[in-house]
Structure formats: C-alpha cells, structure tokens
Amino acid sequence: MEKVRGFEIAKGFEDKNINLPERKTKYSAGYDVECAEDVIIPSFKKGMKPTLVKTGIKAYMKDNEYLMLVNRSSNPGKKGLVLANSVGIIDKDYYGNPDNDGHFMFAFYNMKEEDIEIKKGDCIGQAIFMPYLLADDDNANGERTGGFGSTSKK
C-alpha cells in the first residue's frame, strides 16, 4: 500500500509506548493526539515562554497538504490551557527533518492560577490534515534545513 498521509513514531520515541493519533467517531475531522510523557505546565506569568508538550509523533502527507494542530475544546475551560500560537501548522517538509525527525509538539500556556499536570497518554489536542492552494505567482523553491522555526533562519 502506498503511503499517502498518516502518523509514525518519531525517532527517540520508539520504545516509549506511544499511541498513534486516531479519530474517535466516523465523522470526526481531528485525530486525537496524546501526550508522550508526564509534564507540568506552570501557571502563566508575564514574559514566560510556552511549554512544549511532546507527542512522540511525526506526520507524512501529500505535497499540497499540511497538518493543523488545534486545542481540545475542553482544555481552556477545564485545564486553563491555550495554544500559544492559536493554531499549529506542520508542513509536509517538516517530516523527517534533520533536527528532530519531524517530531511535532503542542505549545501551551496555562491560564489557571495553579500548575497543571498532564500525564502520559492524556489527549492534549487534535491533528487535522488539510489541503492548501498556491497563488498564481508563487515561486517558492527553498528547502527546509531544520526543525522547529527553521524556515525563518537565514
């Protein structure tokens, strides 16, 4: 069978009992993504960086697709968790990159007054495969040279 789109375990997580994301119902758009290890997300303080929550997962897809990472609808109300970037975008060429093999993470801020503990195996967000379109005058020909944040490096 030809691989079109899907999920794999990222390098370094092969022996960590990671569950691949899955849809829970027939008409779900998103694949539920679990946390790869226990993590504490501290209560937000001005100037702090978001907590990157590991998934242990990488995603492959077609040339005209990306993976959209979104928060669980219950996270803000129940746990005070909001995504630092509102929506995460995982590009096709992030898969297998030399820095981190394409391992994607969720960047969270915790708006509660107390620290929040996320346990390994807890569902932390959803991943949705999406198509995208190109502008008539698009001429992008650069190549990814690294992982997280590498497309802005010169």
Any domain includes 123: yes
Any domain includes 78: yes
Report pLDDT for 147: 53
Res. 140: pLDDT tops 90: no
Q: How far apart are CA 9 and CA 116, in angstroms?
A: 26
Give the domain range for residue 55: 6-132
Any domain includes 126: yes
Q: What is the residue-averaged pLDDT of the chain?
A: 93
Q: How far apart are CA 108 and CA 49, in angstroms?
A: 9
Mean pLDDT of 68-77: 96
Report pLDDT for 142: 73
Any domain includes 59: yes
CATH number at residue 12: 2.70.40.10
Res. 113: pLDDT tops 80: yes
At 149, the pLDDT band (50, 70, 90 cuts) reads low
Any domain includes 144: no
Any domain includes 147: no
Q: How far apart are CA 108 and CA 75, in angstroms?
A: 10
Q: Give the number of other CB atoms < 10 A from CB of residue 36.
A: 24
Q: How many domains does the chain have?
A: 1
pLDDT, tens only, 118-134 = 999 999 999 999 999 99
Mean pLDDT of 88-102: 95
Any domain includes 148: no
Helix (H, G, I), strand (E, B) or coil at 34: strand
